[in-house]
Amino acid sequence: MSRDLLKFLAFAVLVLLAPLYFKGGYLMNVLVFVGIHTMLAIGLNLLLGYAGQISLGHAGFFGMGAYLSGILTATYAWNPWLAMPLAALLVGALAFMIGFPILKLKGHYLAMATLGMGIIIYIVFNETIDLTGGPSGLSGIPSLSIGTFTFDSDVKNYYLIWSITLGTILLTLNLANSRVGRALRAVHDSEVAARVVGVNARLLKVQIFALSAVISSVAGSLYAHTMTFVAPASFGFNFSVELLTMVVIGGLGSIYGSFLGAALLTLLPEFLRAAHDYDIIIYGGLLMLMVMFMPGGLVRGIPDLFRMLVKGRGGDGHA
Amino acid sequence: MRFRFIQFLAAAFTLCIAQAAVAAAPIKIGALFAVTGPAAFLGEPERNTAKMVVDEINKAGGVKGRKLELVTYDTAGDATKAVQLATKLIKDDKVVAIIGPSTTGETMAVIPVVEKEQIPLISCSAGSKITDPVKKWVFKTAQNDSLAVAKIFEYLQKQKQNKVAILTVSDGFGSSGREQLKAQAAKFGINIVSDDTYGPKDTDMTAQLTKIRGSQAQALIVWGTNPGPAVIAKNAKQLGLKLPLYMSHGVSSKKFIDLAGDAAEGIRLPSGKVLVADVLSNSDSQKKSLLAFVKDYQNHYKTEGDHFGGHAWDAVMLIKTAVEQGAESPAAIRDQLEKTKNFHGIGGTFNFSSQDHAGLGKDAFVLVEIKNKDWVIVK
């Protein structure tokens, strides 16, 4: 247990010191999004990696958080700190309600149902023009502030978002190691067996679905206040798939894996930009190689690779 | 004494090198275009044109002895990416001005960034809300939707057709058009008797058209970009719909005629003057720029230049003109842009002022009709 805490503290120190290295360049801005994506990937990982339930509609929850925060603060001049928890609560309640019928489904059917849910939410963003501003988006969302201190630069936003992300990591790490986490893994491996030993599998799945939606919604609110603008195109089906890719590439059932996946998928396109028109091909190729040779995700693949390299070198030495 | 002279020579020499270095330092202009993704039909001609124009300016010796350097990034039509890349252009590439993005959504997302960092932005997207209200650092070259709507309504008024049906696509372009159509109808004494939308990826619009056939409409206005309007034109022909069809400037490219085929005959639409450059009267102040652009684009890319590329042409040339007037810093370029008067570009004749950062008048559009697979100006 204390080893886990040590690991977390080391990670937190690394995160807090990173801005000293990047010194406010544009990568700072990208790292802000790595933070937001990490939260989203963790939220989805709880559902997919721990409870074994797929969702292709998580961009919808992310978008609802962003739009609720955006509309309440920009149109109705609410305090952002009040809008954020309200948005999270509403999104959580909605997820809880639709969770009961949806999570009865399994496998492909669950994927289809959540996919449909995501698309419906997207259509609502797109078509309710009077409320959301429609396809050309909603602007004029205020930045977050405490008293007279406004989070209006990348460095300030970085610390704001990463402190909430670190909080999420700590919370989910605890959850994963608790009775609930063990119950979730039991449901993942065999729902019937879990029920036999007294786990209320149905309720548990719905609860974790709702929690996952709440985390996504908070990430959405933070996104809205960082960008100060939201448009439906950011919350479409493609983004749901990107989130799923982050979780799978990072490593199912690992909180730090979610961070690795989010960081890789957010940063890689930036580094590949040097390759100009070929960036998409390289990007796709790299993802394919990773899935083929690191089926357990980065979080397991990187240590394996490291061990292989060390061993390989050792072998050479002997020969 | 001799030593002095050598010293002097050395100093002069160093000074010369320094001077040359200063003169050679290029002026960096950033560009954000949606080259891939759903808005690629905008981003690709825009990027091609911007590259072409900058190359040509440099071949001709640059601006006041300084070369231009264009740094372009692909936003894929994504607002989040557009913001990240705008930050990159400003902080890492240290550009003095930014051209683009291609869509209204991306532009709205980038505006807070450029306003804060104080870098002039010349957007290539059409949404009226980009420059209304006026933002200090934001200009645009694409014609406002309101001008296109006014052009159609003016003609309808002349034809005494005052009951119209509108059919708009549910994306940024369509919703902005729909807003303008509804807002301006009363001013021209026009009554919208049917108001429908279709999805950007729909492949059959017979349902909407059947409904419109049942209404009292005397004309149908379709607001969308390819391929939707081509599908509508074909559907309307299949249904035997007799209403005169009007479309938006979103389809004013050869591509539309190719897609719609025979169904395109007789359709009228407002368009930038690019399409009809060769038949414009010689007194038209834009004719020279238009013909130069069309010829250039044809030579470079073996395909016809359209008015989307024209937005980028205007943006680059506006910055070039500002630099020619002596502006070098972002703030000076902004001030100079605002003073631009009678700039005869591709989109129209620009006259910016502190109250108007869109700069175009109604004459930016002409109403054209498709006849024998070509464009004819409607008098």
A192-228 pLDDT per residue, tens: 999 999 899 999 999 999 999 999 999 999 999 999 9
How far apart CA B237 and CA B231 sit, in angstroms, is 10
β-strand pairing of B121-123 with B138-140: parallel
Q: Is A242 on the interface with B (CB under 8 A)?
A: no
What residues of A are in contact with residue B90 (Cβ under 8 Å)?
26
Highest mean pLDDT among A136-145, A254-263, B71-80: A254-263
Task: State residue B338's pLDDT score.
Answer: 94
Phi-psi region of A125 (alpha: psi -120 to 50; beta: other; left: phi over 0): alpha
Binning pLDDT at 50, 70 and 90, where does residue B307 land? confident
* Nearest chain A residue to B178, by CA: A129
pLDDT tens, position by position, B252-299? 888 889 999 999 999 999 988 888 888 888 888 888 889 889 888 988
Residue A226: alpha-carbon gap to chain centroid: 16
Closest approach of B88 to chain A, Cα-based (Å): 5
What residues of B are in contact with residue A24 (Cβ under 8 Å)?
91
Can you tell me the mean pLDDT for B193-202? 91
- Please choose, from the candidates B125, B102, B251, the residue with its C-alpha nearest in 3D space to the C-alpha of residue B176: B125
Task: State residue A319's pLDDT score.
Answer: 40
CB atoms under 10 Å from CB of A239, counted, come to 22
Binning pLDDT at 50, 70 and 90, where does residue B187 land? very high
Alpha-carbon distances, residue A82 vs A4, A68, A131, A158, A222 (angstroms): 33, 11, 19, 21, 13
Residues B297/B77, Cβ–Cβ less than 8 Å: no
Q: Any idea where the domains of chain A sit in the sequence?
A: 2-237
Name the residue facing A26 among B88, B112, B172 (closest C-beta). Answer: B88
- Please choose, from the candidates B321, B272, B274, the residue with its C-alpha nearest in 3D space to the C-alpha of residue B298: B274
- What share of chain B has pLDDT > 90, as a percent? 58
Q: Has residue B20 got a pLDDT over 60? A: no
How far apart CA B327 and CA B125 sit, in angstroms, is 25
User: Tokens in use for B159?
Assistant: 């034809």
Q: Which of residues 192-211 of A touch B (CB under 8 A)?
A: none
CB distance B174–A273 less than 8 Å?
no
Task: State residue B37's pLDDT score.
Answer: 82
What is the interface pTM, i.e. ipTM, of the complex?
0.80
pLDDT tens, position by position, A11-70? 999 999 988 888 767 888 899 999 999 999 999 999 999 999 999 999 999 999 999 999
Tell me which of B108, B114, B196 to substitute to probe the interface with A (most A C-beta atoms closer than 10 Å).
Answer: B108
CB distance A227–B83 less than 8 Å?
yes
pLDDT tens, position by position, A258-304? 999 999 999 998 888 877 778 888 989 998 998 888 888 898 888 88
User: Tokens in use for A168?
Assistant: 């999420």
Task: State residue A318's pLDDT score.
Answer: 45
Tally the C-alpha atoms within 13 A of residue B326's C-alpha that lie toward its C-beta: 1
Place of tokens 């400037």: B249
Name the residue facing A233 among B92, B105, B197 (closest C-beta). Answer: B105
Residues B89/B32, Cβ–Cβ less than 8 Å: yes
Q: Has residue A1 got a pLDDT over 80? A: no
What residues of B are in contact with residue A270 (Cβ under 8 Å)?
84
Task: State residue B5's pLDDT score.
Answer: 62
Task: Please name the amino acid found at residue B313.
Answer: W
CB distance B116–A152 less than 8 Å?
yes
Residues B28/B93, Cβ–Cβ less than 8 Å: yes
CB distance A229–B112 less than 8 Å?
yes
Residues B237/B266, Cβ–Cβ less than 8 Å: no
**b/e sequence A32-71, b meaning 16+ C-beta within 10 Å:** bbbbbbbbbbbbbbbbbbbbbbbbbbbbbbbbbbbbbbbb
Q: Has residue B16 got a pLDDT over 60? A: no
Q: Has residue B354 got a pLDDT over 80? A: yes
Q: Is A245 on the interface with B (CB under 8 A)?
A: no
Binning pLDDT at 50, 70 and 90, where does residue B11 land? low
Task: State residue B8's pLDDT score.
Answer: 62
CB distance B176–A228 less than 8 Å?
no
Using CB atoms within 10 A of its CB, is residue B293 exposed (0-12), middle (13-18) or buried (19+)? buried
Task: State residue B18's pLDDT score.
Answer: 52
Task: State residue B363's pLDDT score.
Answer: 84
Alpha-carbon distances, residue B143 vs A317, B39, B52 (angstroms): 70, 17, 22
**Counting one residue from A and one from B, how many pairs have CB atoms under 8 Å apart?**
78
What is the overall mean pLDDT for chain B?
89
Q: Has residue A97 got a pLDDT over 50? A: yes
How far apart CA A195 and CA A190 sit, in angstroms, is 9
pLDDT tens, position by position, A100-126? 999 999 989 999 999 999 999 999 998
**A133: part of which helix (H) or strand (E)?**
none
**Torsion angle defined by CA atoms of residues A271, A275, A278 and A283, in that order, rounded to the nearest 10 degrees:** -20
Using CB atoms within 10 A of its CB, is residue A29 exposed (0-12), middle (13-18) or buried (19+)? buried
Closest approach of A9 to chain B, Cα-based (Å): 29
How far apart CA B152 and CA B248 sit, in angstroms, is 9
Beta strands in chain B (DSSP E): 27-33, 68-74, 97-99, 121-123, 138-140, 163-169, 191-198, 219-223, 245-247, 268-271, 343-344, 349-350, 366-371, 374-377
Least confident of A170-179, A220-229, B33-42: B33-42
Can you tell me the mean pLDDT for B40-60? 92
Q: Has residue B38 got a pLDDT over 50? A: yes
Q: Has residue A317 got a pLDDT over 50? A: no
Can you tell me the mean pLDDT for A234-261? 93
Name the residue facing A139 among B108, B170, B175 (closest C-beta). Answer: B108
Place of tokens 């009040």: A82
Name the residue facing B127 among A24, A29, A136 (closest C-beta). Answer: A136
- Please choose, from the candidates B110, B119, B171, B38, the residue with its C-alpha nearest in 3D space to the C-alpha of residue B319: B119
* Nearest chain B residue to A152, by CA: B116
Angle, CA of B99, B105 and B109, to the nearest 5°: 70
Cβ contacts of residue A123 below 8 Å, gap of 6+?
none
Name the residue facing A228 among B91, B112, B175 (closest C-beta). Answer: B112
CB distance B172–A273 less than 8 Å?
no
Residue A59: alpha-carbon gap to chain centroid: 9
Q: Has residue B21 got a pLDDT over 70? A: no
Cis previous bond, B101, omega within 30: yes
* DSSP-based three-state secondary structure for B312: helix
Any idea how long chain B is? 379
What residues of A are in contact with residue B88 (Cβ under 8 Å)?
26, 29
Residues B101/B117, Cβ–Cβ less than 8 Å: no
Residues B125/B142, Cβ–Cβ less than 8 Å: yes
Residues B94/B112, Cβ–Cβ less than 8 Å: no
Q: Has residue B320 got a pLDDT over 70? A: yes
What domains, with CATH codes, occur in chain B?
A: 22-143+286-362 (3.40.50.2300), 146-271 (3.40.50.2300)
- What share of chain A has pLDDT > 90, as a percent? 68
Q: Has residue B98 got a pLDDT over 70? A: yes
